[in-house]
Amino acid sequence: MSSEPGLVLKAQSGFFQVKTGVDVVTCRLRGKLKRGIHHGDLVAIGDRVLVSLINSKEGVIESIEPRQHAFSRLDPRPQGVYEQVLLANPDQVLMVFACAHPAPHRRMLDRFLVIAEQQGIPSVIIANKYDLVSRAEAESLFGLYQPLGYRVIYTSVRTGVGIKKVSDLLSNKLSALTGPSGVGKSSLISCIQPSLSLRSAEISGATGKGRHTTEVRELHSLEGGGFVADMPGLRALALWDIQPEELDGYFPEMRDLVNTCQYNNCSHRKEPGCSIRRAVEDGRIHPERYRSYLAMRFGEMEV
Ligand SMILES: Nc1nc2c(ncn2[C@@H]2O[C@H](COP(=O)(O)OP(=O)(O)OP(=O)(O)O)[C@@H](O)[C@H]2O)c(=O)[nH]1
Ligand SMILES: [Mg+2]
Ligand SMILES: [Zn+2]
């Protein structure tokens, strides 16, 4: 019985599709790995595993390599908080939002960015459906992120704008596309690699909300090298294990200023001598970003 390294491409109901060399093998998890109490997914897409082959199509996952990092979501369950691993070991996460239809929820984007900062994963913002708005409108929505150090790519699956840039970005990397439902994540991937032809669907006219067309998380192998995961639309991402005092460190525009506040445990809300508030007043910090910070810090909002 030979043992081979592999990459988990798909996880569904206890079965895993694992790419070993050129083959994709259907695997179960060795029983002993499942023993004990688990506070998170044992195996997720993006995990590197060792598989013992039963035949050319089936195998057993014997061990899982430690994750460097993971793009995860916190899932409160009766037994305690569970770490649902959306993608293990990502090189980057593409935060996909639409310029319109559905209108972008910037607080939600801010929350995604904070989570990626905390999990140590580079993020890129994709502003899709660029064909539905003017350039000025698109920039008024997403332009504020570039000076913070985030790359913003404006795309349209309809006109093809920006698609090459996204395709180059994905090349030879392990990436995830995330964002709300109906923004065009599956459409973007299908446009980059038509042979995949992922399911995409019209968004509901009545609510302007997506319908959660993509249900299973799966890594797709790209012809130009690399893998991309199409995620189901996310309604919410809870902040994972973030201490309130460390939140300002996940806002790039605040990070370097916090040491200059008068109080070293400044929450940047009401304290005198706060350099963050001063930066908001004189325009160095965008007021919307500051409001997002306050909302996350003081729980005035749930996205
Ligand atoms: N006008 C316009 N429509 C687009 C664009 N990209 C995608 N769409 C449409 O938006 C709708 C939703 O696209 P999907 O690709 O299913 O969206 P999704 O983000 O994968 O949605 P979930 O799987 O539910 O998370 C479809 O009707 C697409 O045809 C675009 O660039 N411009
Ligand atoms: Mg989809
Ligand atoms: Zn302060």
In ligand 1, which atom is closest to the CA atom of 210? Answer: 24
Lookup: tokens for 153: 């790519």
Q: Which of 200, 234, 237 to mutate to test the pocket of ligand 1 (most atoms within 8 A of CB)?
A: 200
Strands 80-88 and 48-53: unpaired
**Which residues place a Cβ less than 5 A from the ion ligand 3?**
261, 266, 268, 274, 276
| Segment 28-75, tens digit of pLDDT | 999 888 888 888 999 999 999 999 999 999 999 999 999 999 998 888
Lookup: tokens for 280: 């908001």
Q: Judge if the upstream peptide bond of residue 287 is cis by omega within 30 degrees of 0.
A: no
**Which residues place a Cβ less than 5 A from the ion ligand 2?**
185-186, 213-214
- How is residue 140 annotated by DSSP? H
Q: Indicate the residue type of 74.
A: L
For 119, half-sphere exposure in the C-beta direction (CA atoms, 13 angstrom radius) is: 31
Residue 209, burial from CB neighbour count under 10 angstroms (0-12, 13-18, 19+): middle
Ligand 1 pocket, residue 156 CB under 6 Å: yes
- According to the model, what pLDDT value does residue 303 have? 38
- According to the model, what pLDDT value does residue 1 have? 61
- According to the model, what pLDDT value does residue 215 have? 60
Backbone angles phi, psi at 63, to 5 degrees: -155, 160
Task: Report how far ligand 1's centroid is from the alpha carbon of 51 (Å).
Answer: 37
Which residues are CB-contacts of 135 (< 8 A; sequence separation ≥ 6)? none
Query: DSSP 3-state assignment of 73?
Result: strand
Q: The tokens 């200023």 sit on which residue?
A: 257
- According to the model, what pLDDT value does residue 261 have? 97
pLDDT profile of the chain (303 residues), mean per 10: 90 92 93 87 96 95 95 84 91 97 94 91 98 98 97 98 98 95 93 79 50 70 93 68 88 95 94 97 96 87 43
- According to the model, what pLDDT value does residue 302 have? 43
Ligand 1 pocket, residue 183 CB under 6 Å: yes
Question: What distance in Å separates the CA atoms of residue 103 and residue 138, rounded to the nearest whole number?
Answer: 11
In ligand 1, which atom is closest to the CA atom of 180? Answer: 25
